[in-house]
Amino acid sequence: MLKKFQLSTNNRSQMLNITQKVQEAIGEAGAKEGLVTIYCPHTTGGITINEGADPDVVRDILLHLDKLYPWDSPDFRHAEGNSAAHLKASTVGPSQTIPITNGEMVLGTWQSIYFCEFDGPRTRTFFVKVLVDRGTG
């Protein structure tokens, strides 16, 4: 099953917790065992897994990505002016794959799945592909 989601971002850079939406897609697919892949089709966005309990972790990630890839670098040549967003998206990556067991994602206690916006605000899309292991349900 492939499910398409849309979301709106409010800032140039932000990370939105999409864990619950992914879990709902797993439930809709009826997957007890299998894999789920979350994919971002944008060149200035990404998908990552990190701590979901303390919002300072997200703040720190975004802060240091801005330090690594400042928007105003004089070395950038891309005419649209969003090279920093492209670099951040390449660093984070476009997808994550997570095992499913007993109908739940195998995530660590503190882990959450994030859609990463690096060139907002925008309306964005991400896809969730649930692969069900038919041998076990």
Q: How far apart are CA 117 and CA 125, in angstroms?
A: 11
Written as six digits, the tokens of 75 are 């070395």
* Contact by Cβ (8 Å): 46, 124: no
Q: Judge whether 137 lies within some domain.
A: no
Q: Judge whether 72 lies within some domain.
A: yes
- H helices present in the chain, as ranges: 19-29, 55-68, 83-92
The chain-wide mean pLDDT, for the chain, equals: 94
User: In the prediction, which pLDDT does 75 show?
Assistant: 76
Q: Judge whether 6 lies within some domain.
A: yes
For residue 122, what is the domain's CATH number?
2.60.120.460
pTM of the model: 0.94
Task: Output the CA–CA distances (angstroms, integers) from residue 136 to 26, 102, 133, in the order listed.
Answer: 15, 10, 6
Q: Judge whether 89 lies within some domain.
A: yes
Q: Judge whether 48 lies within some domain.
A: yes
Number of domains within the chain = 1
**Along the 137 residues of the chain, how does pLDDT read in single tens digits?**
899 999 999 999 999 999 999 999 999 999 999 999 999 999 999 999 999 999 999 999 999 999 999 988 777 677 677 899 999 999 999 999 999 999 999 999 999 999 999 999 999 999 999 999 987 54
Minimal CA–CA distance to 38: which of 89, 104, 114? 114
Structural domain boundaries, residue 122: 2-132
CA 70 to chain centre: 21
